[in-house]
Amino acid sequence: MTIEGFDYGSFPAELVSEVLTMYVEKGMGYERISCQLQAVPFASAQRIVAAAVTSGVISEEDKHPTGRPKVSRERIEELLAKFPGTRISGIAQLADCSETVVYRYKASRA
């Protein structure tokens, strides 16, 4: 990985290098990077990382996953069967998804 020479737009190469180092090596997210480096807004940190992945400076595996992991319909069905009296919010917490996902699953079953 050659982070040092990567250039992005009007940002100084040292700043881009620091963003990528914080992201890849220290595992920081965009928000923490933008808090620590006042000169780099959240969206710019995202764009710098995306451009680095596209250019091959950092690998796709180094990119952090975003959002919640996709929950399977089987998992929701299993939780609903296991805890029949539980509220939708409780099932959503157990499945690590939003309540909307659980409501949509229940509506599709009806």
How do residues 62-82 score in pLDDT, each as one tens digit? 887 766 667 778 889 999 999
Query: Which of the four pLDDT bands, split at 50, 70 and 90, describes residue 11?
Result: confident
Residue 37 to residue 104: CA distance in whole angstroms: 41
pLDDT at residue 1 is higher than 50: no
Mean pLDDT over all residues of the chain?
A: 85
User: In this predicted structure, what is the pLDDT of residue 39?
Assistant: 86
Is the pTM value of this prediction over 0.75? Answer: no
58-94 residues labelled b (16+ CB within 10 A) or e (exposed): beeebeeeeeeeebeeebbeebbeeeeeeeeeebbeb
Q: Are 7 and 16 in contact (CB under 8 A)?
A: yes
User: In this predicted structure, what is the pLDDT of residue 67?
Assistant: 63
pLDDT-wise least confident of 10-24, 32-46, 64-78: 64-78
Residue range 27-33: average pLDDT? 88
